[in-house]
Amino acid sequence: MNKLNFLFVTLFGIGKLKKIPGSYASLVTTVFLFFLFHVLNISVNIVLIGLIIVFFISLYAVNIFIKDLDNKDPKEVVIDEFIGQSIPICLYEVAHIARNENSQVLTFYFIMFILFRIFDIAKPYPVSYYDKNFKNSFGVIMDDVCAGLYVVAVLVLYMVITS
């Protein structure tokens, strides 16, 4: 059971990469979601339900993983990057039910990846609030959820300005 939990919270070992595991996890998430939505044509609703399930399982799994650690937000835990990166991509797909050209989709996916990494690393408020004040699975996950929501806000602002 511990091995399964380890695989889950490290996104199948991506979190054990020595350099920038969070960025690798975000990149793998971006590619994975593109594959689900644009190659397999999986419904956004199914992916959103899956994401909600992953969110709740993560609250428990990360808590189990970090309970005996001094560092309550270890780099190897990257399931939070999966959740945070998934939020803007899923909401982009909801907003663009009509299929766009893959080049346009790839451009927006790339922008969402870069913006998420910027917000996740820079930690503007309230990302920093969750990161500093909650030394548990909730804090580990919610700072990435907030970073993902910042990406959504930037994209909405861009769409309003350009329309």
Q: Would you give per-residue pLDDT tens digits along the chain (163 residues)?
A: 789 999 999 999 999 999 999 999 999 999 999 999 999 999 999 999 999 999 999 999 999 999 988 888 889 999 999 999 999 999 999 988 766 788 889 999 999 999 999 999 999 998 889 888 888 899 999 999 999 999 999 999 998 998 8
- pLDDT at residue number 69: 85
Is residue 137 within 8 A of residue 59, CB to CB? The reply is: yes
Both tokens of 41, joined, read 């044509």
- pLDDT at residue number 120: 95
Taking each helix axis as running N to C, give the angle between helix 79-95 and helix 44-66, from 0 to 180 degrees, rounded to the nearest 10: 160
- pLDDT at residue number 9: 96
- pLDDT at residue number 52: 97
Q: pTM for this one?
A: 0.93
